[in-house]
Structure 1
């Protein structure tokens, strides 16, 4: 991933994680593994964990501690109603931006 991709990803990672959690509850390592499987190989676990702390503090997720076979209990995150509202806003913003960028790329910047 190039520097530009990394910078753009920083601005959208919260929305991506909320979208993942809208599909099913998950813990930090699961989210990181999914992102890497999707080609986001340079995302550090620490980045995902810091983001999960932020969205927990902002009230977008519910957290359940689940026993782990190895080590301490895992924090499993699930999207709550406030998080779903935030995700909906992310998708509205994403649609707005992607439509404008597509027009710009096609040379139709006057619309």
Structure 2
């Protein structure tokens, strides 16, 4: 059985993951949630993703456009800005350094029996 995911760990990396997925292709909010689920974050709720999108847009890291939908209200599609792409790569480098350090320390600890 998998251990429950620490929401504080996810909170710290979710903006980076959102920017990474949006750098692959433009997405609207619910589609982005589905892509996060497909990527293994099946316990993430839409209510967690939308505030991240709002903050990234407010900070100038993503831009949005409204697209009419034949199946309901218009959808807001998001893409990273140049600032967002720069932030993604800087954050990814920091994450990789931190993850390597954490792995190094954990590898030195006694293993579970």
Q: Fold-level match, TM-score > 0.5?
A: yes
- 2:31 aligns with 30
Following superposition of structure 1 onto structure 2, how do residues 1-111 of structure 1 map, counting pairs within 5 Å?
2-4=4-6, 6-107=7-108
Q: Could you give the per-residue CA deviations for residues 1-27 of structure 1, whole angstroms, max 9, x where no partner exists? A: 6152x2211110000000001111100
Matches of 2:47 and 2:71 in 1, distance apart?
A: 19
- The structure-2 alpha-carbon separation of the partners of 1:37 and 1:77, relative to structure 1 and needing over 3 Å to count, comes to same
Instruction: Name the one with the larger strand percent.
Output: 2
Q: CA RMSD in A?
A: 1.5
Identify which range, 48-57 or 98-107, moves more after superposition. 98-107
State the number of aligned residues.
107
Q: TM-score, normalised by structure 2?
A: 0.87
Matches of 1:3 and 1:62 in 2, distance apart?
A: 30
